[in-house]
Structure 1
Amino acid sequence: MSERQAERGGQSRAGVLYIVATPIGNLDDLSTRAAKILSQVDFVAAEDTRHSGRLLQHLGLSKPMVALHDHNERDRAGGLIDRLQAGESAALVSDAGTPLISDPGYVLVRQARELGVQVVPLPGPCALVVALSAAGLPTDRFTFAGFLPAKSGARRTALEAWQRETATMVFYESPHRIADTVADMALVFGEDREMAIARELTKTYESFYHGTAGQLLEVLREDANARRGEFVVMVRGARDVEPGGDLDVDRLLALLLPELPVKKAAKIVAEVSGVSRNELYQRALALRQER
Protein backbone atom coordinates (compact mmCIF):
# COMPACT_ATOMS: atom_id res chain seq x y z
CA MET A 1 0.00 0.00 0.00
CA SER A 2 1.41 3.40 -0.93
CA GLU A 3 1.52 6.39 1.43
CA ARG A 4 -1.11 8.06 -0.76
CA GLN A 5 -3.40 5.03 -0.51
CA ALA A 6 -2.93 4.95 3.25
CA GLU A 7 -3.82 8.65 3.45
CA ARG A 8 -6.95 8.13 1.37
CA GLY A 9 -8.02 5.34 3.68
CA GLY A 10 -7.57 7.63 6.67
CA GLN A 11 -5.03 5.28 8.28
CA SER A 12 -1.29 5.52 8.75
CA ARG A 13 0.93 3.08 6.95
CA ALA A 14 2.12 0.36 9.33
CA GLY A 15 5.78 -0.23 10.05
CA VAL A 16 7.11 3.04 8.62
CA LEU A 17 9.44 5.53 10.27
CA TYR A 18 8.67 9.02 8.96
CA ILE A 19 11.33 11.72 9.29
CA VAL A 20 9.27 14.88 9.77
CA ALA A 21 10.84 18.32 9.46
CA THR A 22 9.18 20.85 11.77
CA PRO A 23 9.22 24.68 11.77
CA ILE A 24 12.35 26.48 12.96
CA GLY A 25 10.24 29.37 14.20
CA ASN A 26 7.11 30.19 12.24
CA LEU A 27 4.53 27.42 12.76
CA ASP A 28 2.94 28.22 9.39
CA ASP A 29 6.00 26.64 7.76
CA LEU A 30 4.83 23.13 8.67
CA SER A 31 3.80 21.42 5.43
CA THR A 32 0.33 20.02 4.83
CA ARG A 33 1.88 16.59 4.30
CA ALA A 34 3.79 16.79 7.60
CA ALA A 35 0.62 17.70 9.49
CA LYS A 36 -1.20 14.79 7.84
CA ILE A 37 1.49 12.27 8.74
CA LEU A 38 1.61 13.51 12.33
CA SER A 39 -2.14 12.92 12.53
CA GLN A 40 -1.82 9.35 11.19
CA VAL A 41 1.18 7.82 12.98
CA ASP A 42 0.81 5.67 16.08
CA PHE A 43 3.38 7.58 18.08
CA VAL A 44 5.90 10.45 17.87
CA ALA A 45 9.59 10.15 18.81
CA ALA A 46 10.61 13.65 19.87
CA GLU A 47 13.82 15.30 21.03
CA ASP A 48 11.82 17.17 23.69
CA THR A 49 8.28 15.89 24.27
CA ARG A 50 7.16 19.11 25.93
CA HIS A 51 8.37 21.24 23.02
CA SER A 52 6.89 18.97 20.34
CA GLY A 53 3.75 18.58 22.44
CA ARG A 54 3.04 22.27 21.90
CA LEU A 55 3.30 21.76 18.14
CA LEU A 56 0.85 18.86 18.29
CA GLN A 57 -1.47 20.95 20.45
CA HIS A 58 -1.30 23.72 17.85
CA LEU A 59 -2.43 21.15 15.27
CA GLY A 60 -5.21 19.91 17.53
CA LEU A 61 -3.55 16.50 17.87
CA SER A 62 -3.01 14.19 20.82
CA LYS A 63 -0.44 11.45 20.22
CA PRO A 64 1.61 9.11 22.40
CA MET A 65 5.13 10.53 22.59
CA VAL A 66 8.53 9.02 23.31
CA ALA A 67 11.56 11.11 24.24
CA LEU A 68 14.52 10.41 21.95
CA HIS A 69 17.54 12.61 22.52
CA ASP A 70 21.34 12.48 22.60
CA HIS A 71 21.46 11.02 26.10
CA ASN A 72 19.08 8.08 25.61
CA GLU A 73 18.98 7.30 21.88
CA ARG A 74 21.31 4.30 21.96
CA ASP A 75 19.35 2.69 24.79
CA ARG A 76 15.92 3.49 23.41
CA ALA A 77 16.34 2.91 19.64
CA GLY A 78 16.02 -0.88 19.88
CA GLY A 79 12.64 -0.71 21.60
CA LEU A 80 11.32 1.73 19.01
CA ILE A 81 12.51 -0.54 16.19
CA ASP A 82 10.64 -3.42 17.83
CA ARG A 83 7.43 -1.38 17.75
CA LEU A 84 7.97 -0.48 14.09
CA GLN A 85 8.61 -4.11 13.17
CA ALA A 86 5.44 -5.06 15.03
CA GLY A 87 3.43 -2.84 12.70
CA GLU A 88 3.31 0.59 14.31
CA SER A 89 4.19 3.79 12.45
CA ALA A 90 6.21 6.60 13.98
CA ALA A 91 7.17 10.18 13.24
CA LEU A 92 10.67 11.27 14.24
CA VAL A 93 10.83 15.00 15.03
CA SER A 94 13.43 17.31 16.54
CA ASP A 95 12.81 20.56 18.40
CA ALA A 96 13.09 22.51 15.16
CA GLY A 97 14.06 21.83 11.56
CA THR A 98 15.04 18.52 9.97
CA PRO A 99 15.94 15.62 12.30
CA LEU A 100 19.55 14.34 12.25
CA ILE A 101 20.91 17.71 11.03
CA SER A 102 22.83 18.53 14.24
CA ASP A 103 19.96 16.79 16.03
CA PRO A 104 19.28 13.25 17.33
CA GLY A 105 18.02 10.39 15.17
CA TYR A 106 21.08 8.89 13.49
CA VAL A 107 21.16 5.76 15.65
CA LEU A 108 17.46 5.10 15.14
CA VAL A 109 17.53 5.65 11.38
CA ARG A 110 20.71 3.59 11.01
CA GLN A 111 19.20 0.64 12.86
CA ALA A 112 15.93 0.95 10.95
CA ARG A 113 17.80 0.78 7.63
CA GLU A 114 19.91 -2.16 8.75
CA LEU A 115 16.83 -4.12 9.87
CA GLY A 116 14.76 -3.40 6.78
CA VAL A 117 12.30 -0.95 8.33
CA GLN A 118 11.08 1.54 5.76
CA VAL A 119 12.26 5.11 6.39
CA VAL A 120 10.35 7.89 4.63
CA PRO A 121 11.71 11.48 4.78
CA LEU A 122 9.38 14.47 4.50
CA PRO A 123 11.07 17.62 3.16
CA GLY A 124 10.72 20.77 5.19
CA PRO A 125 12.49 23.51 7.15
CA CYS A 126 16.25 23.30 7.70
CA ALA A 127 18.08 26.30 9.18
CA LEU A 128 21.28 25.89 7.19
CA VAL A 129 19.45 25.83 3.83
CA VAL A 130 17.19 28.74 4.79
CA ALA A 131 20.20 30.80 5.88
CA LEU A 132 22.26 30.05 2.78
CA SER A 133 19.41 30.97 0.45
CA ALA A 134 19.41 34.57 1.71
CA ALA A 135 23.03 35.11 2.77
CA GLY A 136 24.46 36.39 -0.49
CA LEU A 137 27.41 34.00 -0.32
CA PRO A 138 28.30 31.37 -2.97
CA THR A 139 26.01 28.34 -2.73
CA ASP A 140 27.24 26.25 -5.66
CA ARG A 141 29.43 24.43 -3.13
CA PHE A 142 29.08 24.49 0.63
CA THR A 143 30.08 22.35 3.58
CA PHE A 144 28.20 22.02 6.85
CA ALA A 145 30.19 21.68 10.07
CA GLY A 146 27.41 21.98 12.67
CA PHE A 147 28.43 23.20 16.13
CA LEU A 148 32.08 23.95 16.85
CA PRO A 149 33.74 22.93 20.15
CA ALA A 150 32.75 25.02 23.14
CA LYS A 151 36.29 25.76 24.35
CA SER A 152 38.33 28.33 22.45
CA GLY A 153 41.47 26.23 22.02
CA ALA A 154 39.61 23.27 20.56
CA ARG A 155 37.47 25.62 18.48
CA ARG A 156 40.51 27.28 16.91
CA THR A 157 42.03 23.90 16.16
CA ALA A 158 38.82 22.85 14.43
CA LEU A 159 38.72 26.08 12.43
CA GLU A 160 42.33 25.66 11.35
CA ALA A 161 41.30 22.38 9.70
CA TRP A 162 38.87 24.42 7.56
CA GLN A 163 41.38 27.19 6.85
CA ARG A 164 41.95 26.26 3.20
CA GLU A 165 38.41 25.09 2.42
CA THR A 166 37.23 26.76 -0.80
CA ALA A 167 33.51 26.04 -0.40
CA THR A 168 31.25 28.22 1.74
CA MET A 169 31.34 26.92 5.32
CA VAL A 170 28.21 26.75 7.47
CA PHE A 171 28.19 26.49 11.27
CA TYR A 172 25.54 26.60 13.99
CA GLU A 173 26.20 28.59 17.15
CA SER A 174 24.50 29.49 20.42
CA PRO A 175 24.02 33.02 21.83
CA HIS A 176 26.53 32.72 24.69
CA ARG A 177 29.35 31.70 22.32
CA ILE A 178 28.60 33.65 19.13
CA ALA A 179 30.98 36.57 19.79
CA ASP A 180 33.86 34.32 20.87
CA THR A 181 33.35 32.08 17.85
CA VAL A 182 33.43 34.98 15.40
CA ALA A 183 36.53 36.31 17.17
CA ASP A 184 38.25 32.97 16.62
CA MET A 185 37.12 32.96 12.98
CA ALA A 186 38.61 36.41 12.50
CA LEU A 187 41.86 35.16 14.01
CA VAL A 188 42.06 31.93 11.97
CA PHE A 189 40.50 33.01 8.66
CA GLY A 190 41.57 36.65 8.83
CA GLU A 191 39.58 39.78 9.70
CA ASP A 192 38.91 40.44 6.01
CA ARG A 193 37.21 37.08 5.31
CA GLU A 194 33.64 37.62 4.07
CA MET A 195 30.93 36.23 6.34
CA ALA A 196 27.19 36.28 6.95
CA ILE A 197 25.30 35.56 10.14
CA ALA A 198 21.60 34.65 10.26
CA ARG A 199 19.82 35.13 13.58
CA GLU A 200 16.39 33.94 14.74
CA LEU A 201 15.35 32.64 11.30
CA THR A 202 11.61 32.90 10.50
CA LYS A 203 10.95 34.48 13.90
CA THR A 204 9.87 38.00 14.80
CA TYR A 205 13.42 39.33 15.17
CA GLU A 206 14.97 37.55 12.20
CA SER A 207 18.17 39.35 11.21
CA PHE A 208 21.00 38.95 8.71
CA TYR A 209 24.44 40.48 9.18
CA HIS A 210 26.88 40.57 6.28
CA GLY A 211 30.44 41.85 6.09
CA THR A 212 33.98 40.90 7.00
CA ALA A 213 34.81 38.86 10.09
CA GLY A 214 36.23 41.99 11.71
CA GLN A 215 33.11 44.03 10.96
CA LEU A 216 30.72 41.38 12.27
CA LEU A 217 32.78 40.94 15.43
CA GLU A 218 32.44 44.66 16.07
CA VAL A 219 28.66 44.47 15.58
CA LEU A 220 28.36 41.57 18.03
CA ARG A 221 30.46 43.29 20.65
CA GLU A 222 28.62 46.60 20.43
CA ASP A 223 25.02 45.35 20.15
CA ALA A 224 23.74 43.02 22.88
CA ASN A 225 20.60 42.29 20.84
CA ALA A 226 22.76 40.92 18.02
CA ARG A 227 23.98 38.23 20.43
CA ARG A 228 20.51 36.91 21.26
CA GLY A 229 18.83 33.94 19.62
CA GLU A 230 20.01 30.99 17.57
CA PHE A 231 22.61 31.54 14.86
CA VAL A 232 23.74 30.18 11.52
CA VAL A 233 27.25 31.41 10.72
CA MET A 234 28.42 31.27 7.11
CA VAL A 235 31.99 31.89 5.99
CA ARG A 236 33.06 32.39 2.40
CA GLY A 237 35.64 29.82 1.34
CA ALA A 238 39.29 30.52 0.64
CA ARG A 239 40.33 31.44 -2.88
CA ASP A 240 39.90 28.50 -5.26
CA VAL A 241 43.64 28.02 -5.70
CA GLU A 242 46.19 25.94 -3.91
CA PRO A 243 47.17 28.25 -1.03
CA GLY A 244 50.52 29.70 -1.91
CA GLY A 245 50.57 27.78 -5.20
CA ASP A 246 53.86 28.38 -6.99
CA LEU A 247 54.15 31.73 -5.24
CA ASP A 248 57.11 32.07 -2.89
CA VAL A 249 55.24 33.79 -0.07
CA ASP A 250 58.35 34.16 2.09
CA ARG A 251 60.19 35.93 -0.71
CA LEU A 252 57.20 38.21 -1.33
CA LEU A 253 57.01 39.02 2.37
CA ALA A 254 60.74 39.74 2.43
CA LEU A 255 60.31 42.20 -0.45
CA LEU A 256 57.38 43.99 1.18
CA LEU A 257 58.60 44.18 4.78
CA PRO A 258 61.19 46.94 4.20
CA GLU A 259 58.43 49.11 2.72
CA LEU A 260 55.37 48.21 4.83
CA PRO A 261 54.33 47.39 8.39
CA VAL A 262 54.13 43.66 9.17
CA LYS A 263 50.33 43.64 9.34
CA LYS A 264 49.94 45.38 5.98
CA ALA A 265 52.49 43.11 4.27
CA ALA A 266 50.74 39.99 5.61
CA LYS A 267 47.37 41.29 4.41
CA ILE A 268 48.61 41.89 0.85
CA VAL A 269 50.29 38.48 0.56
CA ALA A 270 47.18 36.78 1.98
CA GLU A 271 45.03 38.39 -0.71
CA VAL A 272 47.21 37.17 -3.58
CA SER A 273 48.15 33.75 -2.18
CA GLY A 274 45.07 32.47 -0.33
CA VAL A 275 47.21 31.69 2.72
CA SER A 276 45.75 32.75 6.08
CA ARG A 277 46.67 36.29 7.04
CA ASN A 278 47.29 35.16 10.62
CA GLU A 279 49.76 32.52 9.40
CA LEU A 280 51.49 35.06 7.17
CA TYR A 281 51.65 37.59 9.99
CA GLN A 282 53.56 35.08 12.13
CA ARG A 283 55.87 34.25 9.21
CA ALA A 284 56.47 37.95 8.60
CA LEU A 285 57.39 38.50 12.27
CA ALA A 286 59.86 35.64 12.04
CA LEU A 287 61.39 37.07 8.87
CA ARG A 288 61.76 40.48 10.44
CA GLN A 289 63.49 39.00 13.48
CA GLU A 290 65.93 37.19 11.20
CA ARG A 291 67.07 40.46 9.67
Structure 2
Amino acid sequence: MPHAHPSSRRTFIGRLGAAALASAATPLFAQGKWPDKPIKLVVPFAAGVSPDVVARIISEPLGRALGQPIVIDNRAGAAGIIGAEAAARSPGDGYTLFMTVNSIMAINPNVYTSLPYDTFRDFAPVTQIAFVPYVLVTGPNQPDKSLKDLLARARAKAESIEYGSLGVGSGPHVVMEMMNNMAGVHMVHVPYKGSPIADVMAGQVPLAFEPATTAIPLIKGGKLRALAVTSRKRNPSLPDVPAVDELLPGYDGDGWQGFYVPAATPKDIVARFNTEVVKILGQQDVRNKLAELGLQPVGNSVEEFAKVTRGDFDKWGKIARANKIRIDS
Protein backbone atom coordinates (compact mmCIF):
# COMPACT_ATOMS: atom_id res chain seq x y z
CA MET A 1 0.00 0.00 0.00
CA PRO A 2 1.58 3.28 -1.07
CA HIS A 3 2.47 5.71 1.72
CA ALA A 4 0.66 9.03 1.82
CA HIS A 5 2.82 11.92 0.75
CA PRO A 6 4.11 13.75 3.89
CA SER A 7 2.53 17.05 2.81
CA SER A 8 -0.93 15.48 2.32
CA ARG A 9 -0.60 13.78 5.74
CA ARG A 10 0.23 17.14 7.29
CA THR A 11 -2.85 18.63 5.63
CA PHE A 12 -5.03 15.82 7.00
CA ILE A 13 -3.63 16.31 10.54
CA GLY A 14 -4.15 20.05 10.09
CA ARG A 15 -7.78 19.38 9.24
CA LEU A 16 -8.14 17.09 12.24
CA GLY A 17 -6.66 19.82 14.47
CA ALA A 18 -9.01 22.42 13.06
CA ALA A 19 -12.00 20.11 13.62
CA ALA A 20 -10.91 19.44 17.21
CA LEU A 21 -10.50 23.17 17.82
CA ALA A 22 -13.90 23.86 16.30
CA SER A 23 -15.60 21.29 18.57
CA ALA A 24 -13.70 22.65 21.61
CA ALA A 25 -14.79 26.18 20.72
CA THR A 26 -18.49 25.28 20.55
CA PRO A 27 -19.25 25.83 24.27
CA LEU A 28 -17.32 29.13 24.22
CA PHE A 29 -19.21 30.15 21.12
CA ALA A 30 -22.50 29.27 22.83
CA GLN A 31 -21.58 31.66 25.64
CA GLY A 32 -21.14 34.33 22.96
CA LYS A 33 -24.95 34.41 22.66
CA TRP A 34 -25.17 36.50 25.85
CA PRO A 35 -27.69 37.70 26.72
CA ASP A 36 -30.14 34.92 25.92
CA LYS A 37 -32.59 35.62 28.77
CA PRO A 38 -33.90 38.68 30.67
CA ILE A 39 -31.45 40.64 32.84
CA LYS A 40 -32.35 41.51 36.42
CA LEU A 41 -31.70 45.08 37.59
CA VAL A 42 -31.66 45.21 41.40
CA VAL A 43 -32.80 48.62 42.73
CA PRO A 44 -32.33 48.96 46.52
CA PHE A 45 -35.22 51.44 46.81
CA ALA A 46 -39.00 51.43 46.48
CA ALA A 47 -40.66 52.11 43.13
CA GLY A 48 -41.09 55.81 42.37
CA VAL A 49 -38.04 57.25 44.17
CA SER A 50 -35.28 58.89 42.14
CA PRO A 51 -32.91 55.88 41.60
CA ASP A 52 -35.89 53.71 40.60
CA VAL A 53 -37.18 56.36 38.15
CA VAL A 54 -33.68 56.64 36.61
CA ALA A 55 -33.33 52.84 36.45
CA ARG A 56 -36.57 52.69 34.45
CA ILE A 57 -35.49 55.54 32.12
CA ILE A 58 -32.30 53.59 31.26
CA SER A 59 -33.61 50.01 31.38
CA GLU A 60 -35.94 50.36 28.40
CA PRO A 61 -33.33 51.51 25.82
CA LEU A 62 -30.74 49.16 27.41
CA GLY A 63 -33.08 46.21 26.91
CA ARG A 64 -33.55 47.20 23.26
CA ALA A 65 -29.77 47.51 22.73
CA LEU A 66 -29.08 44.08 24.28
CA GLY A 67 -32.10 42.33 22.74
CA GLN A 68 -33.44 41.17 26.13
CA PRO A 69 -35.78 42.83 28.61
CA ILE A 70 -34.32 44.41 31.75
CA VAL A 71 -36.48 43.41 34.72
CA ILE A 72 -36.51 45.82 37.69
CA ASP A 73 -36.23 44.06 41.06
CA ASN A 74 -37.02 46.56 43.86
CA ARG A 75 -35.41 45.51 47.16
CA ALA A 76 -36.03 48.46 49.46
CA GLY A 77 -35.09 48.87 53.10
CA ALA A 78 -32.31 49.17 55.69
CA ALA A 79 -30.51 52.13 54.05
CA GLY A 80 -30.06 50.13 50.85
CA ILE A 81 -28.40 47.20 52.61
CA ILE A 82 -31.12 44.66 51.66
CA GLY A 83 -30.75 45.40 47.93
CA ALA A 84 -26.94 45.53 48.08
CA GLU A 85 -26.80 42.12 49.77
CA ALA A 86 -29.19 40.64 47.17
CA ALA A 87 -27.02 41.99 44.33
CA ALA A 88 -23.74 40.90 45.98
CA ARG A 89 -25.05 37.34 46.35
CA SER A 90 -26.29 37.09 42.76
CA PRO A 91 -24.20 34.99 40.34
CA GLY A 92 -21.66 36.90 38.26
CA ASP A 93 -23.06 35.54 35.00
CA GLY A 94 -24.01 38.80 33.29
CA TYR A 95 -27.69 38.54 34.25
CA THR A 96 -27.62 40.86 37.29
CA LEU A 97 -27.08 44.61 37.28
CA PHE A 98 -27.16 46.76 40.43
CA MET A 99 -28.44 50.36 40.36
CA THR A 100 -27.04 52.00 43.46
CA VAL A 101 -26.04 55.30 45.06
CA ASN A 102 -22.94 56.65 46.77
CA SER A 103 -24.40 56.33 50.29
CA ILE A 104 -24.67 52.54 49.84
CA MET A 105 -21.21 52.08 48.31
CA ALA A 106 -19.12 54.81 49.98
CA ILE A 107 -20.89 55.94 53.19
CA ASN A 108 -22.52 52.79 54.67
CA PRO A 109 -19.22 50.85 54.83
CA ASN A 110 -17.67 53.70 56.84
CA VAL A 111 -20.61 54.05 59.23
CA TYR A 112 -21.99 50.55 59.93
CA THR A 113 -19.91 48.35 62.23
CA SER A 114 -20.70 45.36 59.99
CA LEU A 115 -22.33 44.90 56.59
CA PRO A 116 -23.33 41.82 54.56
CA TYR A 117 -21.51 43.21 51.50
CA ASP A 118 -18.14 44.73 50.63
CA THR A 119 -17.99 47.53 48.05
CA PHE A 120 -14.68 46.41 46.55
CA ARG A 121 -14.78 42.63 47.03
CA ASP A 122 -18.38 41.97 45.95
CA PHE A 123 -18.92 44.44 43.10
CA ALA A 124 -17.36 45.58 39.84
CA PRO A 125 -18.17 49.12 38.62
CA VAL A 126 -19.91 49.60 35.25
CA THR A 127 -20.52 53.36 34.95
CA GLN A 128 -21.63 56.38 36.95
CA ILE A 129 -25.10 57.36 35.77
CA ALA A 130 -25.56 60.83 37.26
CA PHE A 131 -24.59 63.26 39.97
CA VAL A 132 -27.34 63.88 42.52
CA PRO A 133 -26.90 67.38 43.96
CA TYR A 134 -28.29 68.17 47.37
CA VAL A 135 -29.88 71.54 48.10
CA LEU A 136 -29.60 73.14 51.53
CA VAL A 137 -33.18 74.20 52.23
CA THR A 138 -34.97 76.12 54.95
CA GLY A 139 -38.63 76.97 55.54
CA PRO A 140 -40.00 80.18 53.98
CA ASN A 141 -40.56 81.68 57.47
CA GLN A 142 -37.04 80.94 58.76
CA PRO A 143 -34.65 83.86 59.41
CA ASP A 144 -31.76 82.87 57.12
CA LYS A 145 -31.87 84.42 53.66
CA SER A 146 -28.47 83.02 52.63
CA LEU A 147 -25.80 80.49 53.58
CA LYS A 148 -23.68 83.43 54.78
CA ASP A 149 -26.44 84.43 57.24
CA LEU A 150 -26.82 80.88 58.46
CA LEU A 151 -23.10 80.34 59.10
CA ALA A 152 -22.81 83.71 60.85
CA ARG A 153 -25.68 82.73 63.14
CA ALA A 154 -24.18 79.28 63.77
CA ARG A 155 -20.79 80.84 64.61
CA ALA A 156 -22.34 83.39 66.97
CA LYS A 157 -23.95 80.72 69.14
CA ALA A 158 -22.70 77.12 69.17
CA GLU A 159 -25.32 74.36 68.95
CA SER A 160 -28.16 76.87 68.57
CA ILE A 161 -29.30 75.55 65.18
CA GLU A 162 -30.83 72.15 64.45
CA TYR A 163 -31.01 70.33 61.15
CA GLY A 164 -32.92 67.26 60.02
CA SER A 165 -31.67 64.33 57.93
CA LEU A 166 -32.78 60.94 56.60
CA GLY A 167 -31.01 59.33 59.56
CA VAL A 168 -27.59 58.75 61.10
CA GLY A 169 -24.99 58.11 58.39
CA SER A 170 -27.32 59.11 55.53
CA GLY A 171 -26.07 61.27 52.64
CA PRO A 172 -27.79 64.43 53.98
CA HIS A 173 -26.20 63.83 57.41
CA VAL A 174 -22.60 63.47 56.21
CA VAL A 175 -22.79 66.34 53.68
CA MET A 176 -24.03 68.66 56.48
CA GLU A 177 -21.26 67.52 58.84
CA MET A 178 -18.66 68.12 56.13
CA MET A 179 -19.99 71.66 55.67
CA ASN A 180 -20.01 72.25 59.46
CA ASN A 181 -16.42 70.97 59.76
CA MET A 182 -15.20 73.22 56.94
CA ALA A 183 -17.06 76.25 58.34
CA GLY A 184 -15.92 75.57 61.92
CA VAL A 185 -19.49 75.45 63.27
CA HIS A 186 -21.52 72.89 65.18
CA MET A 187 -25.21 72.36 64.42
CA VAL A 188 -27.39 69.82 66.19
CA HIS A 189 -28.38 66.76 64.18
CA VAL A 190 -32.02 65.58 64.35
CA PRO A 191 -32.14 62.18 62.60
CA TYR A 192 -35.46 61.17 61.04
CA LYS A 193 -36.61 57.71 59.97
CA GLY A 194 -37.62 59.15 56.58
CA SER A 195 -37.42 62.56 54.92
CA PRO A 196 -37.57 65.59 57.26
CA ILE A 197 -38.77 67.81 54.42
CA ALA A 198 -42.42 68.12 55.58
CA ASP A 199 -41.15 69.37 58.97
CA VAL A 200 -38.77 71.83 57.25
CA MET A 201 -41.67 73.25 55.23
CA ALA A 202 -43.78 73.50 58.41
CA GLY A 203 -40.97 75.16 60.37
CA GLN A 204 -40.64 72.29 62.89
CA VAL A 205 -36.96 71.87 62.03
CA PRO A 206 -35.14 74.77 60.34
CA LEU A 207 -32.80 73.07 57.89
CA ALA A 208 -32.00 70.02 55.81
CA PHE A 209 -30.03 68.94 52.78
CA GLU A 210 -32.58 67.54 50.33
CA PRO A 211 -31.85 65.76 47.01
CA ALA A 212 -32.37 68.17 44.09
CA THR A 213 -35.00 65.83 42.57
CA THR A 214 -37.51 66.58 45.34
CA ALA A 215 -36.16 69.97 46.46
CA ILE A 216 -36.37 71.88 43.15
CA PRO A 217 -40.18 71.63 42.64
CA LEU A 218 -40.78 72.67 46.28
CA ILE A 219 -38.37 75.63 45.95
CA LYS A 220 -40.02 76.74 42.71
CA GLY A 221 -43.42 76.38 44.37
CA GLY A 222 -42.37 78.71 47.20
CA LYS A 223 -42.65 76.00 49.88
CA LEU A 224 -38.90 76.03 50.63
CA ARG A 225 -36.07 78.55 50.40
CA ALA A 226 -32.79 77.35 48.91
CA LEU A 227 -29.58 78.51 50.58
CA ALA A 228 -26.93 76.53 48.64
CA VAL A 229 -26.19 73.51 46.46
CA THR A 230 -23.58 70.82 47.14
CA SER A 231 -22.17 70.74 43.58
CA ARG A 232 -18.91 72.44 42.65
CA LYS A 233 -20.90 74.72 40.32
CA ARG A 234 -24.38 76.21 40.49
CA ASN A 235 -27.28 74.03 39.37
CA PRO A 236 -28.77 75.09 35.99
CA SER A 237 -32.27 74.68 37.50
CA LEU A 238 -31.39 77.06 40.38
CA PRO A 239 -29.03 79.61 38.80
CA ASP A 240 -29.43 82.15 41.66
CA VAL A 241 -28.52 79.65 44.39
CA PRO A 242 -24.79 79.61 45.21
CA ALA A 243 -22.67 76.50 45.55
CA VAL A 244 -21.39 75.86 49.11
CA ASP A 245 -17.96 75.88 47.41
CA GLU A 246 -18.32 79.64 46.76
CA LEU A 247 -18.19 80.24 50.52
CA LEU A 248 -16.17 77.17 51.54
CA PRO A 249 -13.71 76.49 48.69
CA GLY A 250 -13.12 72.80 47.98
CA TYR A 251 -16.53 71.69 49.26
CA ASP A 252 -18.11 69.01 47.07
CA GLY A 253 -20.99 67.04 48.54
CA ASP A 254 -22.95 65.72 45.56
CA GLY A 255 -24.34 62.24 45.72
CA TRP A 256 -24.41 59.97 42.66
CA GLN A 257 -26.18 57.03 41.10
CA GLY A 258 -24.37 54.28 39.23
CA PHE A 259 -24.43 50.75 37.86
CA TYR A 260 -22.35 47.89 39.27
CA VAL A 261 -22.40 44.14 38.68
CA PRO A 262 -21.44 41.20 40.91
CA ALA A 263 -17.63 41.00 41.05
CA ALA A 264 -17.33 37.70 39.14
CA THR A 265 -19.08 39.08 36.02
CA PRO A 266 -16.84 38.51 32.94
CA LYS A 267 -14.93 41.64 31.88
CA ASP A 268 -16.24 41.55 28.30
CA ILE A 269 -19.83 41.62 29.61
CA VAL A 270 -18.97 44.53 31.95
CA ALA A 271 -17.44 46.34 28.94
CA ARG A 272 -20.59 45.73 26.87
CA PHE A 273 -22.84 47.05 29.65
CA ASN A 274 -20.59 50.11 29.91
CA THR A 275 -20.66 50.78 26.15
CA GLU A 276 -24.45 50.53 25.90
CA VAL A 277 -25.27 52.54 29.05
CA VAL A 278 -22.78 55.31 28.13
CA LYS A 279 -24.40 55.48 24.66
CA ILE A 280 -27.85 55.80 26.25
CA LEU A 281 -26.61 58.57 28.59
CA GLY A 282 -25.42 60.43 25.50
CA GLN A 283 -28.93 60.54 24.01
CA GLN A 284 -30.53 63.98 24.28
CA ASP A 285 -33.97 62.73 25.35
CA VAL A 286 -32.42 60.72 28.21
CA ARG A 287 -30.25 63.68 29.25
CA ASN A 288 -33.34 65.91 29.24
CA LYS A 289 -35.29 63.46 31.43
CA LEU A 290 -32.42 63.31 33.96
CA ALA A 291 -32.02 67.11 33.94
CA GLU A 292 -35.76 67.46 34.66
CA LEU A 293 -35.14 65.34 37.78
CA GLY A 294 -32.41 67.78 38.85
CA LEU A 295 -29.67 65.26 38.00
CA GLN A 296 -26.49 65.77 35.98
CA PRO A 297 -25.83 62.86 33.59
CA VAL A 298 -22.32 61.33 33.62
CA GLY A 299 -21.53 58.06 31.76
CA ASN A 300 -17.83 57.49 32.41
CA SER A 301 -15.46 54.57 31.85
CA VAL A 302 -15.20 51.56 34.18
CA GLU A 303 -11.77 52.82 35.33
CA GLU A 304 -13.00 56.37 35.99
CA PHE A 305 -15.97 55.09 37.98
CA ALA A 306 -13.68 52.81 40.01
CA LYS A 307 -11.62 55.90 40.88
CA VAL A 308 -14.74 57.89 41.86
CA THR A 309 -15.90 55.04 44.13
CA ARG A 310 -12.51 54.80 45.86
CA GLY A 311 -12.22 58.60 46.24
CA ASP A 312 -15.69 58.91 47.77
CA PHE A 313 -15.13 55.93 50.04
CA ASP A 314 -12.01 57.60 51.46
CA LYS A 315 -13.59 61.07 51.68
CA TRP A 316 -16.68 59.94 53.62
CA GLY A 317 -14.57 57.64 55.77
CA LYS A 318 -12.66 60.69 57.02
CA ILE A 319 -15.90 62.61 57.73
CA ALA A 320 -17.43 59.61 59.56
CA ARG A 321 -14.34 59.20 61.74
CA ALA A 322 -13.93 62.94 62.43
CA ASN A 323 -17.56 63.20 63.55
CA LYS A 324 -17.76 59.76 65.24
CA ILE A 325 -20.65 58.69 63.02
CA ARG A 326 -21.18 54.97 63.76
CA ILE A 327 -24.13 52.59 63.64
CA ASP A 328 -23.89 49.29 65.50
CA SER A 329 -25.13 46.61 63.19
Normalising by structure 2, report the TM-score. Answer: 0.30
Normalising by structure 1, report the TM-score. Answer: 0.33
Of the two, which has the highest radius of gyration?
2
Bigger relative contact order, structure 1 or 2 (CA pairs below 8 A, ≥6 apart) = 2
